[in-house]
Amino acid sequence: MMPSTRPLEGITVISLEHAIAAPFCTRQLADLGARVIKIERPGVGDFARGYDERVNGLSSHFVWTNRSKESLTLNLKDEDGKNVIDGLLAQADVLVQNLAPGAAAGLGLSAARLHEKYPRLIVCDISGYGENGPYRDKKAYDLLIQSEAGFLSVTGTRDDMAKAGCSIADIAAGMYAYSNILAALIKRGRDGEGSHIDLSMLEALTEWMSFPMYYAYQGASQPVRSGAEHATIYPYGPFMAGDGKTVMLGLQNEREWKVFCEQVLQDAALASDPRFSSNSRRHEHRDELRSLILKMFADMTAEQVLSRLDQAQIANAGVSSMQDLWQHPQLAARERWAEVPSPAGVLPALLPPGVNNSYAYRMDGVPALGQHTDAILGSLGYQPQKIAEMRERGAI
C-alpha cells in the first residue's frame, strides 16, 4: 500500500491570491501536502470565483486552481485583520501574494519587513513585471503579458495573431513560483534562512519564448506565424483526411521523411525529389508538398491515416475537443481521474502530473468562501463572541 506521508506535510502556506498565477502555485503546494490558507475579501472573495458558472454553478478557473485549500475571509485593513495575519505568519513557512503592485507593502507585508519579524519565512511575490524597472506599476493580465513577451508575434496565422487558448502567462508564473518555493524550502532546510522570491509573469513567459528568440538572434528574422503548423519544420502540423477530420503529424529528420514517403504516401521517389530533399527545401516548397499530402489523404479516413502513420512509426495525434479530452482513453487507462468535494457537489479532478510511487497526492475539496474562517480563528485563540463581533464589523 502506498505510504500516506506527503513531501510538504507540516508546511503551512498563507496566500493573498487571486486569479490564476498564485492560486495555481499554491494548489500545487497543497497537492504535495502543504496546508494552504487562502485569504479572501469578506463577502467577495477571489474574483476568479465569478469568472463563469460552468461547473455546476462554480467557476471553471476557481475549481481548477483552488482544491485542497482553506478559505479564510479577512479584511487586511482592519486592525483585527492585521492581528490575524500576524498570528498566522508567525506559524507559517511560506507567504505567497499576487496583489496589485505595491499593495502588499502598503499593508505592511513587504518582504523586507517580514524578514525582520519572521526570518525563516519564505516570501514569494508574483507580479506582472517584477518589483523594479519602468514597467513595475503596470497592470498585467495574461493576454497583455502574452503580447509583451512576444508570444502573439509568433502565434496565429500569417494574417492574424492569436492568443493561447489557456492562460499560459499565468501558468508559467505559477509553475516557476512553485519550483522556486520548493528550492527555497530545501535551502532553508540547510541554512535555516527564509528567502524572498520576486517572480514576474513577463520573465516566466519570456523563458518559454527562448527558441523563437534565439532563432531571431542578432537581428535575424523571427519565425513567421504559421497557425497549427511548425514555423520551421515541414511537414509538421494538421492535415485533413477524406472524412473531413484532421490529423496531426510531425517529421523530425531525413530518415523519417524517407519512411513517410515510402510507407505513408507510398511514393518512394518523392523522398529524393529536389524540392523536398531536405527540411529547408520542404519548408521552402511547403505549399506544393501540402497539396501532394492532402491528395493522398483524400482517399482515406482519419483513422486509416493515423493507422498508417503508426505502422510507419511517424509521430502523430488526433485533434481532441474538450469533450474528447474528458474521455481520453490514455488518461482513463492510467487512472488519472479522481473526485473532490465542492460547494456544488462531488466533481471530477485530474490528478497532478507525475505518478510517484511513494505517496498519493492530496485531493481535498474546493472551499466555499470563508468556509474555514471560524476554525482558523479558533485555532488562534479567538472566542466565538469575538469572531461574531468581527464578522458583524466586516473584519472577516
pLDDT in tens, 307-322: 999 999 999 999 999 9
Digit-coded pLDDT (tens) for 147-168: 999 999 999 999 999 999 999 9
With pLDDT > 70 as the criterion, what percentage of the chain qualifies?
99
Confidence band for 3, pLDDT divided at 50, 70 and 90: low
Residue 229's pLDDT band (cuts 50, 70, 90): confident
Longest dimension (CA), the chain: 86
Q: Which domains does the chain carry?
A: 12-208+329-393 (3.40.50.10540), 236-318 (3.30.1540.10)
Question: Is 270 in contact with 276 (CB distance < 8 Å)?
Answer: yes
Confidence of residue 226 (pLDDT cuts 50, 70, 90): confident
Q: Is 95 within 8 Å of 14 (Cβ atoms)?
A: yes
* 64 Cβ contact partners less than 8 Å away, ≥ 6 residues apart: 24
What's the pLDDT tens digit per position in 122-138?
999 999 999 999 999 99
Q: How confident is residue 84, by pLDDT bands cut at 50, 70 and 90?
A: very high
pLDDT at 54 over 60: yes
Segment 202-213 mean pLDDT: 96
Which pLDDT value is given to residue 227? Answer: 87
Q: Is 46 helix (H, G, I), strand (E, B) or coil?
A: coil
In this model, does residue 279 exceed pLDDT 60? yes
Residue 132: name the closest of 196, 46, 39, 89 by CA: 196
Give the separation between CA 17 and CA 199, rounded to whole angstroms. 14
* 249 and 300 Cβ atoms separated by less than 8 Å: no
Mean pLDDT of 3-15: 92
The DSSP result for 274-307, as a single string, is: TTTSSHHHHHHTHHHHHHHHHHHHTTS-HHHHHH
pTM above 0.85, yes or no: yes
Find the mean pLDDT for residues 313-334. Answer: 95
